[in-house]
Every structure is written in C-alpha cells, then in structure tokens.
Structure 1
C-alpha cells in the first residue's frame, strides 16, 4: 500500500499539496517546544500512550510536507503524531533549489562558471543560516526538549522518524541513554553524526541515497561496519536501505518527474509505518 499516492495534482516541485488538518500548538508554560499535532481523521486512537515524532529537515514547518505526512502517518497508524518546531527561523524553502538537485545529474550539463556563480549567490543569500546548517548539535536541545514534553505528558513509548537535519536529531536522541521513552528510530538521508553511533543500541532503520554528498559511500560502509556487531547479536537492531538513483531529500521532498525518487519516498515512509506497528503497537 502506498504511503501517500502521488499524482500531478498533489505534488509540485517536491512540495506536497493539500490542506493539513492538524493543529499547531505553540510553546507554553507546560510545553517547551511548539509542535504540529496530527490525529487520525476518524478520531479513533488505538493507544494514547504511544506516539510518533517527525523531525523535519532544515526547512522546518515552512513546507506543507511534514504536516501532510504527519496526517498520513496518523491515519495509517491510528496514533498521535507530532512534528516539533525544533528549528526556529528556518531558511526559505526555495533558497537552495539552484544548487540542490532533485535527482542525480540534474545539473550535469551546467558549466563550472555557472555552478560557481550559483553557489556564491546561494551563500550570499543564506550566510546567516550557515551556523545552524553546519552545526547540527545546536538544534539538539530543542529536539530533546520536544521529546521531554511528550514524556512528561504521559507518553510511554515513542518512535522518532527524521529527515535530513531531523535524521541527525534522531541519531543524537537515540544515543542519549536517558531517553528511555524513545524505543527506536527511522533515519532518512541524514548527515552522518558518527560520534553518536556507538551509543545507539535501539532498533533503527536507515534510508540513504546513493548520490548523497552528505552521506557518501565511505560513510555508508562505515555505518554498516559500526553496526555489524549489533546485527550479529540481534538482527532487529539495525537495517540499512540504500535507494538507487536518488539524492539527498528523497524521503521528505520527492519530485514527481523522477520515478526512482517517487519509489524511494514511498518505500521509506511505508517502512516507517511497519516499524511503528512493530515497535509501538506490537503488530507485524
């Protein structure tokens, strides 16, 4: 079953369209981090002590995608789904389009001069966001606080799914042994936060792109080598899928024009449904 059926009417240039039906709850005296909250459309929640938390890419809630996806997760799992606002003042969603291809070799015919000019223009427009983009650990405190919010509200089991920068957050959260409520994570095309890997001992499933400058072939092999001992002890602890003919961002901002990306988007998020059924709802 498809995660979100994609057609020309619902996907435009990597943006999922449609009106999110959940609600955004800003930070307050008892909730430290603002968040989007999605519930099943029929109102039926099968377990109000479990939750899925979706950590967005660096564009935060600026795109409709994480909200639309949270709604889809809520409908298919029948649980509460939250999207924390752990990135304050994210960069504009379109600013990196000239240098961030949606599929491999999209800009292969571009001259070196044009490429250098485009990179310079993007850097000029985004210099004030560079510290945030270059240092993922700066967002960890708010990501952690958003998880603490759920624990304090009585949620007993949480799965985190993270995309791009959100995937980095999931690595840090899983490596924190104090996060006993967090029972596992789905990590999609993240930056390789290698310092966290030794501390991750909960089930994870990784969805990586085979053309990702942030997570290259050497990083993928190192990841597999690092987790091999854990796999030998318990195969459920680690799974890694490298999606062919894809680039960074495929699981959060797919492009309709590229069939392998559409396929990878669907597979990554459908697998998150299966993962949550096993880890949160004890169903195969």
Structure 2
C-alpha cells in the first residue's frame, strides 16, 4: 500500500493557546479547563507537536467545553512538519517503517488504552477522535464503554473490519471520497455494519477530497478549506451531543 498521501499536506498558520504537560509519563499537549468532559486526540504520524492538531484541539476545547489532550503516541519520535510540503524531505522518510515497525498496533495500543483509562478516571465523560493513523485506535477504544463514551475518526488508517464490528459506543466517521487507506470495501462494511450495532452513528461524506484533508488540508484551496472546516464543525457537534 502506498504511503505517499500520509506524509504530505499543509501546515496551518495560527498560534495554539494550550500548554505542554504529561499524560501517563508521555509528553502531551493539553488545552481547555473543563472538569467534566475530556477529548483524547490520537494523531496521524505527525504527532502531538503538529501546529494543525493543536489548533484543532483549541477549537474543540472552546466549542465543546472540554479539556483536550494530545499525547505523544510515538515514543518521543517527531516527524518534521516541514516534510508536509518538502518533497526532498519526503524522500528521506520511510512511513512504512514508522507505521508497521516502530509504531505498529501491538506496540502502541497499550499506551493509547492507558491514556483513555486515565482520562476516564478523571472525567465524567470522555470522547476520542483519531486522525489517519489514530483511526484504528479509536475504533478499538469503542469496543469497551469503560474506556470511552464516543469516538470520531477522520480518514482512518490501518482499520480492520473486526474493529468496526466491535463498536459499543456512538461512532462518527468523517470520510473523504478518495482514500487509499479507508477503502471502498471498508466504507461499504462500515455502512452495512454500524446500523446493526445498536449504537448511534453518523457517516459524514466529503466529495472530491482525499486522505488527510481534515488535519492537513490546504487552507489556500477553497474546497479543501471548506472541507476541513466542515469536518471540524461535524466533530464539534458530535462531541457536544455525547459529552454533554
């Protein structure tokens, strides 16, 4: 499977307003001051330091009245955000080794699960959203209501049909038309399976857009800008429904 569109995109302008801290001994960005509701962001390969994801976290915190956490889920390895628009840097980065060797599911799932457990012990309600790489992880969280109250995912990667089958909490899927990771087969399985689970669910479709748009879309391209802004609004509405 090609990984080209998981290492490209655009870095957004803007100043984040949260702070750096730790969550279960992992570095983390946190924003917001709710004592009742939290949102866990499970990132794409650009991780917890990408300006885009921190800007999104600030929006979620303000618009959902939640405390939002972005933990480092890659053991301290940071992918240079300049790679997003630098073809030369893209050539020197091996996403397959990053995703399937150093940060495969078996390595990272216990840490992600621990983060959810910690937040559930501290807040009345916790939701999670996974972008790209983080998509499979939030679906795994959704199999256990003791870990999470609701999940959203934008253009999930590494997702397996069994992970879709297992959901037991409300689910939102933010789906672009073109996605080599979230394939037509997986989309079909999602739309056939979620109605049978008995949980509230929604599938939000973005025609003409591609994998990564919700976290790394081009702000100078009107279609992409409209898309990632709609994706943000969709996630906010979903979180407000199930956190409050």
Which category of TM-score, normalised to the shorter sequence, fits these structures?
Answer: 0.7 to 0.9
Taking structure 2 as the reference length, the TM-score comes to 0.85
1:194 aligns with 2:182: no
1:180 is matched with 146
Q: Find the residue that maps to 2:38 and give its secondary structure.
A: strand
Q: How far 1:246 sits from its partner (Å)?
A: 0.5
Which position in structure 2 is the counterpart of 1:209?
Answer: 176
Q: Look up the match of 2:51.
A: 64
RMSD after superposition: 2.4
How many Å separate the matches in 1 of 2:84 and 2:53? 18
Q: Give the aligned partner of residue 93 of structure 1.
A: 81
- The gaps in structure 2 that reach 5 residues or longer are 1-8
Aligned to 1:112: none
TM-score, structure 1 as length reference: 0.74
Mapped to 2, the partners of 1:222 and 1:208 lie a distance apart of: 13
C-alpha distance in 2 between matches for 1:194 and 1:90: 30
Change (3 A) 1:34 1:124: closer
Task: Provide the C-alpha distance between the structure 1 equivalents of 2:132 and 2:39, rounded to a whole number of angstroms.
Answer: 17
Change over 3 Å in CA distance of 1:69–1:96 after alignment to 2: closer
Identify the structure with the greater helix proportion: 2
- Extract unaligned runs of 5+ from structure 1: 1-12, 100-117
Partner of 1:107: none
Structure 1 residue 228 displacement after superposition: 2.8
SS of 2:241 mapped into structure 1: helix
- The count of residues paired between Structure 1 and Structure 2 equals 233
Q: CA deviation at 1:162?
A: 1.2
Find 1:167's aligned residue among 115, 119, 135: 135
- Measured in 1, the distance between the counterparts of 2:164 and 2:93 equals 34
The within-5 A match list for 1:1-284 is 14-26=10-22, 31-39=24-32, 45=34, 48-88=35-75, 89-95=77-83, 122=90, 125-126=93-94, 128-132=97-101, 135-152=104-121, 154-175=122-143, 177=144, 179-191=145-157, 192-230=159-197, 233=198, 237-281=200-244
Distance 2:101 2:13 in 1: 27
> Residues 189 and 248 of structure 1 are in contact (CA less than 8 Å); yes or no, is this contact kept in structure 2?
yes
Q: Residues 148 and 243 of structure 1: is their aligned pair in 2 closer, same or farther, counting only changes over 3 Å?
A: same
